[in-house]
Amino acid sequence: MSNFSFIAETDWRCACCNKNLQASKVNVEYMGSVFNVELMVCPDCGFVLIPEDLALGKMLQVEQLLEDK
């Protein structure tokens, strides 16, 4: 399903492992739902970079759609 991705060259490095981030498929659990997307990930510890445009874009839209009472 996930053939669109948030893979992009980035200057960010993993602070713990000091490794360049690599593209990887990850399961993002958000607001109780799991989404499979491609993101930049630390190859050693698996720490994931959520880019600003994802956080303020689709994730915000998901949050607004799932707003409960």
Partner 1 sequence: MNEKSSSDILSSTKSICPVCLKRLSAVREKHGDDVYLVKKCFEHGEFKTIIWRGPLSFTSWKRPKKASSPQHTFTKSERGCPHDCGLCPSHGQHTCTALIEITTRCNLRCKVCFADAGSNTAADPSLDKIAFFYDRLMQASGSCNVQLSGGEPTVRDDLADIVRLGREKGFSFLQLNTNGIRLAEDEAYAKSLKDAGLSSVFLQFDGLSDEVHLALRGRALSEIKEMAIVNCALAGLGVVLVPTIVPGVNTQELAGIIDYAARFSPTVRGVHFQPVSYFGRYPEPPLDSARITLPEILMHIEEQTNGEIPAHLFSPPSCEHALCSFHANFLVQEDHSLKGITSWQQNCCAATEKKGKIPAAVVGREKSVSFTARQWSAPSACKCTPAEVPENEDELDFFLRRAKTHTFSISGMAFQDAWNLDIERLQGCCIHVVSPEGNLIPFCAYNLTSSQGRGLHRAGGGQ
| Cβ 27 vs Cβ 36: under 8 Å | yes
Q: Should residue 67 be labelled a site residue for partner 1 when binding is judged by CB under 8 A?
A: yes
Among 10-18, 25-33, 40-48, which window interacts with partner 1 (CB under 8 A)? 25-33
Contact with partner 1 (CB under 8 A): which of 26, 49, 50, 62?
Answer: 62
* Binding site residues, partner 1, CB under 8 A: 1-5, 28, 31-33, 35-38, 58-59, 61-62, 65-69
